[in-house]
Amino acid sequence: MAIKFQYNKTSLGEMRKKLQMRQRALPTIKSKESALRLEVKKARDAAAGAQERMEALLGRYEYMSALWGEFDPGLLTVKGVDLRMSKIAGVNVPVLGAVDFEEKDYDLFSSPVWYADGIALLKEVAQAGIESEVYMRRMEVLDHARKKTTQKVNLYEKVQIPGYEAAILKIRRFLEDEENLSKSAQKIVKSKHEQQEPEAV
């Protein structure tokens, strides 16, 4: 990205302002990047934890796998999921509230005894699965924001700040050269006037 500037004092002032703005903003952006990196890791760990919990629950009841064929899947449905948005380091992320289940009534006398435990297990497994999905989504959103922030840090550190510094240096050198030329020209004119004055007398 080429930085456009002109060789004058106005442009020099603008370049200095832009450089100072980026130098002041850089630490804030870097701390945001660090915070996002930490939050991505937390979300990844939480998603993995929910996934492991779900697998552990399923593993605990694996011996009942033959019985699940008798289970009526319509007995339990997820009625609603309370998803709210929260800001982490300036980024909107989903936060899981309550998961609302709807249980259909079943005949306690004609149904197998383990149905109550099966429904409780399914609730726990569904809760863990939903938590895992929400944390995965949170991780994706935060990781996307982190990548954008990293790009901005790199843009400031590696492109814009050095670019503005180089532009300021070029403008200053040009203005100094122009001033030196002007002074030299004035000295030459002055010395010519001084040489012409004695001849005129």
CATH number at residue 113: 1.10.287.3240
Burial class (CB in 10 A: 0-12, 13-18, 19+), 22: middle
Domain-embedded: residue 3 = no
108 occurs within a structural domain: yes
Which tens digits make up the pLDDT trace of 143-199?
Answer: 999 999 999 999 999 999 999 999 999 999 999 988 888 888 888 888 888 888 766
For residues 13 and 4, give the distance between their C-alpha atoms in angstroms, rounded to a whole number. Answer: 13
Report the domain count for the chain: 1
Residue 22: is its pLDDT beyond 90? yes
> Which of the two residues, 74 and 39, has the higher pLDDT score?
39
Mean pLDDT of 10-22: 93
Q: Taking residues 13-34, what's their average pLDDT?
A: 94
Distance CA 19, CA 172 (A): 15
What is the SS3 assignment for 201? coil
Q: Where does the pLDDT of residue 14 fall: very low under 50, low under 70, confident under 90, or very high at 90 and above? A: very high
In a domain? residue 93: yes
**Residue of 20, 43, 36, 23 lying closest to 150 (CA atoms):** 36
Cα–Cα distance, 143 to 152 (Å, whole number): 14
pLDDT at 169: 94
Q: How far apart are CA 52 and CA 118, in angstroms?
A: 19
Q: For residue 4, is it within any domain?
A: no
Does residue 69 surpass a pLDDT of 70? Answer: no
> If pLDDT is split at 50, 70 and 90, which confidence band does 67 have?
low
Q: Is the pLDDT assigned to residue 200 strictly greater than 60?
A: no
Residue 35 lies inside a defined structural domain of this protein: yes
In a domain, 198, yes or no: no
Domain of 100? 9-188
Alpha-carbon distance of 84 to 146, in angstroms, equals: 21
For 87-146, how does the pLDDT look when each residue is reduced to its tens digit (9 = 90+)? 988 899 999 988 998 888 877 777 777 777 778 888 888 888 899 999 999 999 999 999
- Own/partner pairs, 23-31, CB within 8 angstroms, 24+ separation: 23/161, 25/156, 26/153, 26/156, 26/157, 26/161, 29/149, 29/152, 29/153, 29/156, 30/153
